[in-house]
Amino acid sequence: MSILVGRDTRLCVSGITGREGTFHALNNQRYGTNVVSGVTPGKGGQSVEGVPVFDTFHEAVAETDANTAMIFVPARFAADSIIEAADAGVPTIVAITEGIPAHDELRVFTHLKRSTGVRLIGPNCPGVLSPGKANVGIIPADFFKEGNVGVVSRSGTLTYQIGNELAQAGFGNSSIVGIGGDPVPGSSFIDVLELFEADADTELMVMSGEIGGSAEEEAAEFIADNVSKPVVGYIAGFTAPPGKTMGHAGAIVSGSKGTAQAKAEALEAVGVRVGRTPTEVSEIVVEILEG
Amino acid sequence: MDLLEYQGKQLLARHGIPVPAGRPAESVDEAVTAADAIGYPCVVKAQVQIGGRGKLGGIKVAASRAEAQEHAGAILGMDIRGLRVHEVWVEEASEIEAEYYASIVFDRSARAPLIMLSTKGGMDIEQVAEEDPAAIASLHVDPLLGYQQFQGRRLAFEAGVDGDLVRPLTGLLEKLYAAFVGEDAMLIEVNPLIVTPERELRALDAKVTLDGDAMFRHPDNAALRNPSAEDPQEQMAKERGLTYVKLDGDIGILGNGAGLVMSTLDVVAQAGGRPANFLDAGGGSKADAIVAAVEVILSDEKVTGVLFNIFGGITRCDEVAKGLIEAFGQVQPQVPFVVRLDGTNDEEGRRLLAEAALSNLYVEATMLGAAERIVELAAATPSEAR
């Protein structure tokens, strides 16, 4: 098993005719993901290497039975595309697009939570990979193999770093989920930890956080009450000065809130071991799974 | 993007919120002309985004033209907690009967805008929050429903606003919320929001932070400048489309992806070094972006060594290697570079670097090893190379 994407994924790519959209849609297809369709308004009837393109999500879903959407359109169109996919009845949406205005994200988030049962991963995220089954997004799948460690992270490349260290230590992954570095992610650590807790193939979870916001602290509370499997943590940004946005729109320490120290302490207080470097994270995982 | 006080006030004024009349000035002459136009007494205010300017001599009342000239001369060019004053705002003096506080913040945890109101404005609101939390009334606005009149009334009554001001304040909060959403703000703080002897409300200060990602729909806001907050290296990086944050150490850092770069800073610090910057070359960086990044990093004269930490996904390690070789050809850096390449096309990248045999460039296999190596090399960099 795995979470969010797998063998039953039927993917429709929004923005499939764009340069990046085409590249990654085909890359995902080569990995074995079932890419059933794409959406680009005005290009309905065309195809991208045999993948049919539709003008609307509603058409794409009706014709190809898509159950997962990947959003690859530019930031100013992305919120609209996410809501369109939800309106067409797609239950799982993965938004890769970076730079969506925070107020748009907030409206999308509130609408999806309130009026639909749709699960949104991202935006501004690398996507979801279930090794050996399906890849939806831009995670370089070659570095990961099937296994029993679930990874959830706010950052893309840091996820690869940690996943790679785990692979070198001999461990594979059930699923790797990038939730994104924006102020209002569609899914939180809690949402994904809950899925891993229920996933039979996941024995341990690695949660990689960073400065800014309070998602890690909220996850710590959730873990204390709801997670029975071991969780290993990592927090990036111990040396980040307050008031400076560190690359991600969400990564900013304001006042005494959102520091790496506070987050690590909140996790450690509920029994989560927190590695101080990616290498230490993999050492702790080895210790727990082999010890 | 953080706005200067007067930029924030002009933004609020566009949404119908009363602010004192004023003019910006970049020179003493301009300030005197502004003061003459506004009339005396007027207030000369340093335009730097920092709390406590007044206590540090950045806000002065001028009763005459001579005083306006004297104050503008003293404040322009002054250094306030490390920020140089490039501009002053000259505004009419306001008579103050009471000082309130009003703000709207983008509350990430609650995933809704949070409005706060207090009749104890003017002083440090964080201190009020700590010592007398009941003095601050607050509530969340539904992002889909928007601001409702009852919310303004509830805030006003809970905060203990004078009865005659409840209605005007409710109207003012509605305009503040319209500005917050309409301008894609992450924060609007008015402190103090004053009550004049004529029982009118006025924003005497404004702290506004806008969402940089929403600038495509606000070209006027995108054109606003805050020269005192812009570090020359950060400015240079911005022009080249790089995400760069200046720090105060001496080891230059480049990586791909915000999380990995933050993690690299931490690992360098653990190895005993002090990072000079955060630089995210982003996904899919091509050789020319790497050349630009090297130039930005080395333009900081404190840098005594540079660490490249790349985990290629979309980014290809051979492209990074080509960029580095090109940068070495153009810039001929005098300080050591340590490079760690992993991920997409890493072997090809390392092969290119080995072939180029650049002096002063060292390749390490792991992130931790690379961090330890650069700390060691940077410490040994002779002072004439610095």
In this structure, the answer to whether residues A173 and A70 fall within a common structural domain is no
Pair (A64, A167) in one structural domain: no
**Would you say residue A128 lies in a domain?**
no
pTM of the predicted model as reported, rounded to 2 decimal places: 0.92
A155/B181 CB distance under 8 A? no
The mean pLDDT value for B293-315 works out to: 91
Q: Report which secondary-structure segment, H or E, holds A172.
A: none
Question: What's the residue count for chain A?
Answer: 291
- Measured in angstroms, the CA of A63 and the nearest CA of chain B are apart by 32
pLDDT of residue B232: 77
Alpha-carbon distance of A166 to A153, in angstroms, equals 14
Taking only the tens place, the pLDDT of each residue in B88-135 is 999 999 999 999 999 999 999 899 999 999 999 986 777 888 888 888
Mutate which of A239, A257, A274, A279 to test chain B, going by most B C-beta atoms within 10 A? A239
Give Cα A138 distance to the centre of its chain. 10
- Angle at the Cα of B163 (from B161 to B168), degrees rounded to 5? 80
- Cα separation, B375 vs B358, in Å, equals 19
CA dihedral A111, A115, A119, A124 (to 10 degrees): -10
For the four alpha carbons of B93, B95, B101 and B104, in that order, the dihedral sign comes to negative
User: What is the token pair recorded at A11?
Assistant: 């993917």
The region, left, alpha or beta by phi > 0 then psi within -120 to 50, assigned to residue B266 is alpha
| Cβ-Cβ contacts under 8 Å, A104 against chain B | 214
Is A279 found in the same domain as A156? yes
Helix axes A215-226, A189-198, angle to 10 degrees: 30
- B247, B262, B313 member nearest A138 (Cβ): B313
In a domain, A225, yes or no: yes
B381 touches chain A (CB under 8 A): no
Residue A92 inside a domain? The answer is yes
pLDDT of B31 > 90? The answer is yes
C-alpha–C-alpha distance, residues B136 and B158, integer Å? 8
Q: Which residue of B has its CA nearest to A237?
A: B262
Residues A89 and A149 in one domain: no
CATH of the domain at A85: 3.40.50.720
Whether residues A241 and B142 touch (CB distance < 8 A) is answered with no
pLDDT at residue number B382: 66
Residue A117 lies in a domain: yes
The verdict on a CB contact (< 8 Å) between B260 and A75 is no
- Beta-strand relationship, A92-95 and B88-92: unpaired
For residue B386, is pLDDT > 50?
no
Instruction: Copy the structure tokens of residue B207.
Output: 């702290």
Residues A210, B261: Cα–Cα separation, whole Å: 11
By CB atoms closer than 10 A (0-12, 13-18, 19+), residue B264 is buried
Instruction: Note whether A105 and A27 are same-domain residues.
Output: yes
CB contact B162 to A (< 8 Å): no
Q: In chain A, which stretches have pLDDT less than 70?
A: 255
Please report where in the chains the tokens 């899919």 appear, as a residue.
Answer: B284
Domain edge (last residue) among A121, A153, A186: A121
Q: Which residue of A has its CA nearest to B126?
A: A255
For A238, nearest residue in chain B (alpha carbons): B266
* B384 pLDDT higher than 60: no
Q: Give the Cα separation of B53 and A78 in Å (integer).
A: 41
Res. B383 pLDDT band, cuts 50 70 90: low
- Tell me whether residue A248 is one of the annotated catalytic residues: yes
Using CA coordinates, name the residue in chain A closest to B343. A143
Domain ranges of chain B: 22-92, 98-222, 231-385
On whether both A205 and A257 belong to a single domain, the answer is: yes
- Kindly state the tokens that stand for A97: 């697009």
Q: What is the pLDDT of residue B230?
A: 67
- CA–CA gap between residue B285 and residue B323 (Å, rounded): 9
- Which residues of chain B form beta strands (DSSP E)? 22-25, 42-46, 59-62, 79-80, 83-84, 88-92, 98-107, 112-118, 136-140, 185-195, 201-203, 207-210, 243-246, 251-255, 277-280, 305-312, 337-343, 361-363
Tally of residues, chain B:
386
Is residue A252 within 8 Å of A210, Cβ to Cβ?
no
Average pLDDT, chain A: 94
- The pLDDT score that the predictor gives to residue B304 is 95
- Name the class of domain B98-222: alpha beta
pLDDT confidence of residue A178: 95
Q: Tell me how far apart the alpha carbons of residues A169 and B342 are, in angstroms, rounded to a whole number.
A: 16
| Pairing relationship of beta strands A11-14 and A68-71 according to DSSP bridges | parallel
Contacts of B343 in chain A (CB under 8 A): 140, 143, 160, 164
Q: Are residues A171 and A259 in the same domain?
A: yes
Among the four given CATH numbers 3.40.190.10, 3.40.50.2300, 3.40.50.261, 3.40.50.300, the one describing domain B231-385: 3.40.50.261
> What local confidence, expressed as pLDDT, does residue B227 receive?
66
This complex has an ipTM of: 0.91
Orientation of helix A57-64 relative to helix A75-87, angle to 10°: 50
Give the whole-angstrom CA distance, residue B5 versus residue B258. Answer: 30
Query: Domain for residue A130, yes or no?
Result: no
B216 touches chain A (CB under 8 A): yes
Phi, psi of A122 (to 5 degrees): 95, -160
> pLDDT (tens digit, 9 = 90+) per residue, B221-253?
988 877 666 677 888 888 788 889 989 899 999
* A149 & A286 share domain: yes
Q: Which domain holds residue A211?
A: 144-290
Contact across the interface for B311 and A246, Cβ inside 8 Å: no
Task: Spell out the alpha helix ranges (H) of chain A.
Answer: 19-31, 57-64, 75-87, 102-115, 156-168, 189-198, 215-226, 260-269, 278-290
Closest residue to A277, CB basis, from B216, B343, B368: B368
A41 and A175 inside one domain: no
Best A103, A142, A144, A155 member to test B by mutation, with max B CBs in 10 Å, is A103
DSSP code at position A240? P
Domain boundary among A75, A106, A121: A121
A218-250 burial code (b ≥16 CB/10 A, e <16):
ebbebbeeebeebbbbbbbbbbbeeebbbbbbb
**C-alpha span between B170 and B147 (Å, rounded):** 10
Contact A245 B259 (CB under 8 A): no
User: How far is the CA of A200 from the CAs of A4, A196, A197, B96, B254, in angstroms?
Assistant: 14, 8, 8, 66, 39
Q: Which of B101, B147, B177, B244 is catalytic?
A: B101
Fold of B22-92: Dna Ligase; domain 1 (3.30.1490)
> Which CATH number belongs to the domain containing residue A226 in this structure?
3.40.50.261
| Token couple for B289 | 């972006």
- DSSP label at A27? H
Domain count, chain A: 2
What would the pLDDT profile of B142-181 be if each residue is shown by its tens digit?
Answer: 999 999 999 999 999 999 999 999 999 999 999 999 999 9
**Cβ–Cβ gap B259/A156 under 8 Å:** yes
Give the model confidence (pLDDT) of A154-197 as tens digits: 988 898 899 888 988 899 999 999 999 999 999 999 999 999 99
Residues from chain B contacting residue A156 (CB–CB below 8 Å): 257, 259, 283, 313
Task: Give me A254's structure tokens.
Answer: 């304001």
Q: Which amino acid is at A127?
A: G
Q: Do A247 and B280 touch (CB under 8 A)?
A: yes
